[in-house]
Chain A
């Protein structure tokens, strides 16, 4: 018991004595765990807004796509059906507005409110002759508001209202549940939205290329949870309609059986808005964890180097190696636990901000429920990262000789004869820089790894943009300049991750520079005593950091492209070479800039002071 108290007291005193370092450690681990918690929290985060929208828009339990109105009767009278609306004609059209061209599924509705699937108006009024209502996400992409004019297959209409619906996934995933049957030139299924018009208006829209052959029937069941079973029973087969992807014909016009889409499939398709973000966040969290590992390793290494004399004193006072190791592990693991908990809370609370339901749904997602996986995984990762980076230095400190620890002798540097020989031919800053970099290969490796991860993160973002641009070109003129909300969300998430990567990497560069400057105090003072100028010394330290960052910057480029390919599948593009080169060079410049401050500060201490203190 007394031993535990002693470890606790020693750990607490040391943390209090090194507040700034403790805060930096907390920041590094919290950043990584926040992103991990975000990635895990996104699971099912849209379900709440979908339910709210379903309630507000009297969403159907099953949506049936029929090839003729005559198929409706059997379904309306099927067992378990309590209410129905429709069948409504569904016309596939080309919408043109504000210079944009897009596909539009136009559903012909009665002017009176329906019993099932009553789209919830968020602006304007319901359909009237010559007046249409546009699904809100689609309206935002088109840039239209109530009162604007648009044409559908050449017919002019006024935007009477804007609404949300729970009967179809929102733009741009309208075809992800129920499928689409669009054969109109210049229209891509990813670029198709939902519009409601009066039934007579909808009926007059079809053209020869896309005749009217689909009808929509909305059904309400006595037991909504049995919607999937109902769809399987009355639909075309066990695969159901949910397996029909974008661009594929729904089959309603070709097969005799109606296509039935249960509300759970629509909810899942709504979740597609978030699933991409999750795909981005999880590898992003992995990258951040790697960076945090490098940061913590450098920071802990630096702290232990500073604590050499303390280790000696503890040992001289009777502290066992176990007590020394336990003290260092305890203080870092306490920080890791706090950071893990902070990251968990931050991720959990910010998830709803990142996963705002968007225009297609009403209501707020609220904080997702804390799953056991999150509660275990997030602090677990924090502990693993810290343990991995603390264990070796803690054991090394515990095993160190008491006499040499009391003398505060620095860990002997590594000798690399070939590099020393090579450096003697270089100008003074490069000579000093190369020798400094070669002294601590482990730190150089961590620094290079950290830069590689950062550059990989930035290259991933660039590759994402290149892919989006290439995809827009593939879709061709059909995109009509429409904004894709999923792309916008991915951009937001990627930007957040990139900012965190850069912040963590900057922290890491500062830690490494600080550790290098601390380690180089004596050699720096010595070479100043031997005639090197302070400017040459600080440039040398800068060169040491840039030299170690260089392989990381080079390696980060293919790593980022490979990472994006692994996450994004086959349809990925490589970013322009100029951007990539600028990223690598910009990162090296940033490293130089971040190192300059501690390097210059280090040379401001008089060499005599350092050399005298080393003698003492």
Chain B
């Protein structure tokens, strides 16, 4: 494993490629992507469905392996890591937020949030304490004992965000985090992401919703597996994401 000094860079890719199929049925889901995300930055990757943005996110988080290229996360090229080391990386350095929430239906909100801490081998009490803190932070302290089926979509996504934060990750990767939510729930989630941004959390959000992209420091457009454009937004969400994306009256 090689460690390099990446300076202020939390995440960097070079010539990243992911191919599916062969010959005539070959699909380049990600085709030569170069990306740098600095610490504390919020990057939104936008594009239509099937453009490869979710695949890119899974590659960045070490959930899938690229066909070619490099991914540097936390100072190491994760494409060369073993499954074991990748698992450790996902546990310690990455937090995932999924469109479908992916909460365990049989676990309560607090049990879902503490799960990564238990997987990391933290003592149960410490894991529970941390989970309760995070639920309070996302405004769901009173819903800690609720099952996912007893929560609204927005509340479920906030539980999923709390779970992504439980290990204090270097970067949170969110895949269409508001894709399954209504306007009000989207507003709640946007507000939460803004809080995280203010706290210096590095965020990479994949979305096809311009309202959420508008809250990012930088918006990257993607089509057919390649980056087609980039827009810098000064000051990010500036603490009023709802106003920015027109969700607040």
Interface residues of A in 386-431 (CB under 8 A from B): 412-416, 420, 424-425, 428, 431
Most buried by B among A425, A529, A612: A529
A526 touches B102 (CB 8 A): yes
**Interface stretch (choices A324-332, A456-464, A601-609):** A601-609
- CA gap between A243 and B127 in the complex, in Å: 77
B residues less than 8 Å from A607 (CB atoms): 63-64
Interface residues of A in 516-534 (CB under 8 A from B): 522-523, 526-534
- CA gap between A416 and B127 in the complex, in Å: 20
> Number of A-B pairs whose CB atoms are under 8 Å?
95
From A439, A528, A531, contact of B106 by CB (8 A)? A439
From B96, B100, B124, contact of A424 by CB (8 A)? B124
B87 touches A533 (CB 8 A): yes
- CA gap between A308 and B230 in the complex, in Å: 43
B64 touches A608 (CB 8 A): yes
- B169's nearest neighbour on chain A, judged by CB, is A531
- CA gap between A370 and B121 in the complex, in Å: 64
B residues less than 8 Å from A438 (CB atoms): 106
B58 touches A531 (CB 8 A): no
A21 → chain B closest CB, angstroms = 26
A residues less than 8 Å from B99 (CB atoms): 615
B87 touches A615 (CB 8 A): no
B residues less than 8 Å from A425 (CB atoms): 124
A531 touches B63 (CB 8 A): no
Interface residues of B in 186-210 (CB under 8 A from A): none
- CA gap between A586 and B118 in the complex, in Å: 32
- Chain B residues proximal to chain A, CB less than 8 Å: 54-55, 58, 61, 63-65, 83-84, 87-88, 90-92, 96, 98-100, 102, 104-107, 111, 114-116, 118-121, 124, 127, 147, 149, 163, 167, 175-176
Further pairs besides A431-B118, A522-B102, A531-B119: 16, Cβ < 8 Å: A412-B105, A420-B106, A420-B107, A424-B111, A424-B127, A428-B121, A431-B119, A435-B104, A528-B87, A529-B61, A530-B91, A532-B87, A606-B63, A609-B64, A612-B54, A614-B102
A424 touches B90 (CB 8 A): no
- CA gap between A384 and B145 in the complex, in Å: 44
Contact of A611 with B by CB under 8 A: yes
A527 touches B119 (CB 8 A): yes
- CA gap between A413 and B90 in the complex, in Å: 26
A533 → chain B closest CB, angstroms = 4
A456-482, CB under 8 A of B: which get 1 and which 0?
000000000000000000000000000
- A425's nearest neighbour on chain B, judged by CB, is B124
A residues less than 8 Å from B100 (CB atoms): 611, 614-615
B107 touches A424 (CB 8 A): no
- CA gap between A607 and B57 in the complex, in Å: 13
A420 touches B111 (CB 8 A): yes
B residues less than 8 Å from A416 (CB atoms): 106
A611 touches B124 (CB 8 A): no
Which 3 residue pairs spanning A and B have beta carbons closest together? A531-B91, A608-B58, A608-B64
List 16 A-B pairs, Cβ < 8 Å: A412-B105, A415-B106, A439-B106, A528-B87, A529-B96, A530-B96, A530-B116, A531-B119, A532-B87, A533-B87, A606-B63, A606-B65, A608-B63, A614-B100, A615-B98, A615-B176
Most buried by A among B116, B119, B120, B124: B119
Knowing A424-B127, A614-B100, the reply to whether A532 touches B119 (Cβ < 8 A) is yes
- CA gap between A435 and B112 in the complex, in Å: 12
- A603's nearest neighbour on chain B, judged by CB, is B83
B96 touches A527 (CB 8 A): no
B83 → chain A closest CB, angstroms = 6
B141 → chain A closest CB, angstroms = 19
A572-616, CB under 8 A of B: which get 1 and which 0?
000000000000000000000000000000000011110110110
Knowing A523-B104, A608-B58, A615-B100, the reply to whether A530 touches B115 (Cβ < 8 A) is yes
B105 touches A531 (CB 8 A): no
From A526, A536, A609, contact of B104 by CB (8 A)? A526
B65 → chain A closest CB, angstroms = 8
B98 touches A611 (CB 8 A): yes
A428 touches B119 (CB 8 A): yes
From B87, B106, B114, B120, contact of A435 by CB (8 A)? B106
- CA gap between A606 and B55 in the complex, in Å: 12
- CA gap between A251 and B127 in the complex, in Å: 86
B92 touches A531 (CB 8 A): yes
B224 → chain A closest CB, angstroms = 18
B residues less than 8 Å from A526 (CB atoms): 102, 104
B245 → chain A closest CB, angstroms = 23
A415 touches B63 (CB 8 A): no
A residues less than 8 Å from B54 (CB atoms): 612, 615
- CA gap between A606 and B63 in the complex, in Å: 7
B residues less than 8 Å from A529 (CB atoms): 61, 63, 90, 96, 102
A535 → chain B closest CB, angstroms = 8
A611 touches B102 (CB 8 A): yes
A533 touches B83 (CB 8 A): yes
- CA gap between A526 and B87 in the complex, in Å: 12
A135 → chain B closest CB, angstroms = 69
A residues less than 8 Å from B96 (CB atoms): 529-530
- CA gap between A414 and B149 in the complex, in Å: 12
- CA gap between A530 and B149 in the complex, in Å: 21
B149 touches A412 (CB 8 A): yes
- CA gap between A412 and B111 in the complex, in Å: 17
- CA gap between A218 and B114 in the complex, in Å: 89
B93 → chain A closest CB, angstroms = 9
A413 touches B106 (CB 8 A): yes
B83 touches A534 (CB 8 A): yes
B residues less than 8 Å from A612 (CB atoms): 54-55, 58
Most buried by A among B54, B121, B163: B54
Interface residues of A in 425-451 (CB under 8 A from B): 425, 428, 431, 435, 438-439
A534 touches B87 (CB 8 A): yes
Most buried by B among A415, A431, A439, A534: A415
Most buried by B among A414, A527, A612: A612
- CA gap between A532 and B96 in the complex, in Å: 13
A residues less than 8 Å from B121 (CB atoms): 428
Most buried by B among A523, A530, A536: A530
B124 touches A531 (CB 8 A): no
Interface residues of A in 306-355 (CB under 8 A from B): none
B73 → chain A closest CB, angstroms = 14
- B99's nearest neighbour on chain A, judged by CB, is A615
A403 → chain B closest CB, angstroms = 15
- CA gap between A535 and B55 in the complex, in Å: 24
Most buried by B among A435, A534, A615: A615
B178 → chain A closest CB, angstroms = 13
A436 → chain B closest CB, angstroms = 10
